[in-house]
Amino acid sequence: MKFEQFDLERNQSLFEHKVDFNLSESGVHPLKLTEILSKEELENLLELQLSYGHTNGTKTLRKLVSKMYSSHLSHDNVLITSGSAEANFLSVMTQLDKGDEIIYMVPNYLQIRHLAKSFGIIVKDLPLRHSLGWQWDLDELKSLISPKTKMIVICNPNNPTGAIMSDSVMDGVIKIAKDYDCWILSDEVYRGSELDGLECRSFAGSTPKTIVNGGLSKAYSLPGLRVGWSIGSESYIQKAWSFHDYTVINISILSDWITSKILVPSRRKKILDRTKKHLNSNLKLLMEWGDYNPGLSITRSEAAAIVFAKLNVPISSEKFVIDLRDKFSVLLTAGTWHGLEGYIRIGYGSEASYVQEGLDRISNFMKSF
């Protein structure tokens, strides 16, 4: 079987550890265990037997995840996965067949798009409109629906724009999905990184055929734990769990144990408050920098540690990113790798001094235009 190359991940994987400044990262500067666990908890962690864990995640962890979304959900509506990437993979593999159609939000993190097309699934891109504040036009959504449409795929908050779907658009998407009996798949890994500190509305539980995927890699600053989750009906979770038996079987018992401590409400709030404070400070720095760089038009993000900047110079996004990388040792991601040419994604979640030095190099590169 021939898989489409995942250009964004290939370029990040090849160069993120070689450049001086990696501003392609879309998460928040990672935490250490000593910053979030007590001394007693760290000692207990060292005494933990390294056995196999629960293949679907411990009941304790699944209950904590379910309560983050709705009091109407239970641990039986949750499957713990190896990052949100596995959760997305399971959603495609269990619900879609060759010849099915999906409507796919762009720009986006194109994992699902590449995977679906590799399996012969027809992908209909539906762009977010910059002129609408990076929102969908619901009439455009309806126009793409056909008898073969199986799923509407969303990323909210959105990567790479940092936009949050409005309530009116969300209500419209839910109605359309119900009217046409489509699955909704919502990647919500950035939920919790809202700059105003108010968690955006989730699609979880909005229809019987809704899947919501999330994880710890972005808002929680803990990508190294590789913990994700899928929220859905009990029947969906059982089906995904059965396929999970063929992928990673279970996450590390260490990651499950640590995450069960992290997602206790008081500690979760402390972590997300840190995220909000850090992102607001760094975004201010980035927006002020953007005022002095007319070659880029930067729209302020509502969530996540990323902005999607419009190129106002005569160069493709991929050439811009490659030239910047090779000549100034700064890594960004190209709009074309997100499904929309003419933009670049800049990550601002690292330490402030690191972000500033990277931006200064971009300024020097921009002088060539």
End-to-end alpha-carbon separation of the chain, Å? 43
Q: How far apart are CA 249 and CA 264, in angstroms?
A: 25
pLDDT for the residue 162: 98
The confidence score (pLDDT) of residue 3 equals 87
State the pLDDT at residue 71. Answer: 87
Domain 48-263 coded CATH 3.40.47.10: no
| Joined tokens for residue 88 | 């997305």
Which pLDDT belongs to residue 231? 98
Consecutive 10-residue averages of pLDDT for the chain (369 residues): 89 94 96 97 97 97 97 96 98 97 98 96 98 97 98 98 98 98 98 97 97 98 97 98 96 98 97 97 97 94 97 97 98 98 98 98 95
The residues spanned by each domain of the chain are: 7-32+268-366, 48-263
Q: Tell me how far apart the alpha carbons of residues 337 and 251 are, in angstroms, rounded to a whole number.
A: 29
Position 8 scores a pLDDT of 92
Predicted structure pTM score? 0.96
CA distances from 222 to 36, 103, 187, 237, 354 (A): 11, 30, 17, 24, 19
Q: Which residues contact 312 (CB under 8 A, 6 or more apart)?
A: 294, 295, 296, 297
Structure tokens at 85: 């990437």
**How many C-beta neighbours within 10 Å does residue 67 have?**
15
Helix 234-244 to helix 83-95 angle (10° resolution) is 110
pLDDT at 190: 98
Count of beta carbons in the 10 Å neighbourhood of residue 4: 12
Q: Which CATH class is domain 7-32+268-366?
A: alpha beta
